[in-house]
């Protein structure tokens, strides 16, 4: 395995007692790359990637406490720049939609909010076609509700119901995406180690849609803690308790799991806290409670490097997807947030083929 350089930069709001649990990116009106950090206590801050200076700070609690919405803690966050909408999923079981122009925060306000499933560890909000926002139904973990952002009313525009008879326990992780034919695929990982893949055709004229089961397989005899999937390479990873990694590959035509392509291995780690696949699918990163970040090739599962820079638990890992090198080649940066409030930036395997 390779010896890696030090991080490009390390930053953070050191006055905060809470750590970052969600990271997103956007380009400002001045074409500047901005990183958005969502803290456990509901603080949202933006940082310039050219100066590493904090630009804005917003406390979500100031905008929801008069609506009788309990913050508890932030579970996940995404920003839809084309709509100037910030979406926050709260551990209290609420999904909040804010009007948010980070270049002009005078008009920042809550648009609407919805109850979501509280008994889950999954970060369930996904944006489909920059129009539909997904979340788990508060009363049924086998139902996904879709909000039409063109008309974000109190009731969901579409309900997608999974016809799964078996009870696999708590939803631990999920991944949703559209293909070019408007089929919606939902990968769901459960506490009993099962991974389910469901498929449904999104017809915006139908308020209720029943999904078709493609695969149901027990990847591990214990909990699946974290999961990610990249449809460009049709490969996924599952991090299972306490320290086992499962790689799987889906067939090209119908995205069913190829049982012959499943690979399992363990890592020497205290506990896995997060995982992410790079947008080009070449490598994936795993964070652990001991502060280490491990890098692997996605194709073979070959270990590439171990980053030992941090000493506190890795809370979030996130790759950028739209940065460009000076020679106009795509460059992917890895952002890592830790329990002590630090955020480090890494440029890894951008200029060679060692990740294969």
Query: Residue 325: its pLDDT value, please?
Result: 55
Whether residue 242 has a cis bond before it, omega within 30° of 0: yes
More confident residue, 181 or 335: 335
Q: Looking at residue 51, what DSSP letter applies? A: T
- The verdict on domain 118-233+246-266 having CATH code 2.40.128 is yes
Q: Is the pLDDT of residue 84 over 90?
A: yes
Give mean pLDDT, residues 144-153. 93
Q: What is the pLDDT of residues 8-21, one digit of tens each?
A: 999 987 777 789 99
Q: Is the pLDDT of residue 69 over 70?
A: yes
Q: Is the pLDDT of residue 121 over 80?
A: no
How far is the CA of 274 from the CAs of 22, 230, 336, in angstroms? 11, 16, 10
Give mean pLDDT, residues 171-189. 91
Q: Residue 215 is encoded by which pair of tokens? A: 């695969």
Query: Residue 47: its pLDDT value, please?
Result: 95
Sheet holding 208-218, edge to edge: 127-128, 132-137, 140-148, 158-162, 208-218, 194-201, 183-190, 171-178
| Residues forming a β-bridge with 133 | 127, 147
Query: Residue 324: its pLDDT value, please?
Result: 57
Q: Is the pLDDT of residue 79 over 90?
A: yes
**CA atoms of 320 and 341, how far apart (whole Å):** 20
Query: Residue 216: its pLDDT value, please?
Result: 92
Q: What residue has token string 């078709």? A: 212
Average pLDDT, the chain: 89
> 287: phi > 0 → left, psi -120 to 50 → alpha, else beta; which?
beta
């Amino acid at each position: 395995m390779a010896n890696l350089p030090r991080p490009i930069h390390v930053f953070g709001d050191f006055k905060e007692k809470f750590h970052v649990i969600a990271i997103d990116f956007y380009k400002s009106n001045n074409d500047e790359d901005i990183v958005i950090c969502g803290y456990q206590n509901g603080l949202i801050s933006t940082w310039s990637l050219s100066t590493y200076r904090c630009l804005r700070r917003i406390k979500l609690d100031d905008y929801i406490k008069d609506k009788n919405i309990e913050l508890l803690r932030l579970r996940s966050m995404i920003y839809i720049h084309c709509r100037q909408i910030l979406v926050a999923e709260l551990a209290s079981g609420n999904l909040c939609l804010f009007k948010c122009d980070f270049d002009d925060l005078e008009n920042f306000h809550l648009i609407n909010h919805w109850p979501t499933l509280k008994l889950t560890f999954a970060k369930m909000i996904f944006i489909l076609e920059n129009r539909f926002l997904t979340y788990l139904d508060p009363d049924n973990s086998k139902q996904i509700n879709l909000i039409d952002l063109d008309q974000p009313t109190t009731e969901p525009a579409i309900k997608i119901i999974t016809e799964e008879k078996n009870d696999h326990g708590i939803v631990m992780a999920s991944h949703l995406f559209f293909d070019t034919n408007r089929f919606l695929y939902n990968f769901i990982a459960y506490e009993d180690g099962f991974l389910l893949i469901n498929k449904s055709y999104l017809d915006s004229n139908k308020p209720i849609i029943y999904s078709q089961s493609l695969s149901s397989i027990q990847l591990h005899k214990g909990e699946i803690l974290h999961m990610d999937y990249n449809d460009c390479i049709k490969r996924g990873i599952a991090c299972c308790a306490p320290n086992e990694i499962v790689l799987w590959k889906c067939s090209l035509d119908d995205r069913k799991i190829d049982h012959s392509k499943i690979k399992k291995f363990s890592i020497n780690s205290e506990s896995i806290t997060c995982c992410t696949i790079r947008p080009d699918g070449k490598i994936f990163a795993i964070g652990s409670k001991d502060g280490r970040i491990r890098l692997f090739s996605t194709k073979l599962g070959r270990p590439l490097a171990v980053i030992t820079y941090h000493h506190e638990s890795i809370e979030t890992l996130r790759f950028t997807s739209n940065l460009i090198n000076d020679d106009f080649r795509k460059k992917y940066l890895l952002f890592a947030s830790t329990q002590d409030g630090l955020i480090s930036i890494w440029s890894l395997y951008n200029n060679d083929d060692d990740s294969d």
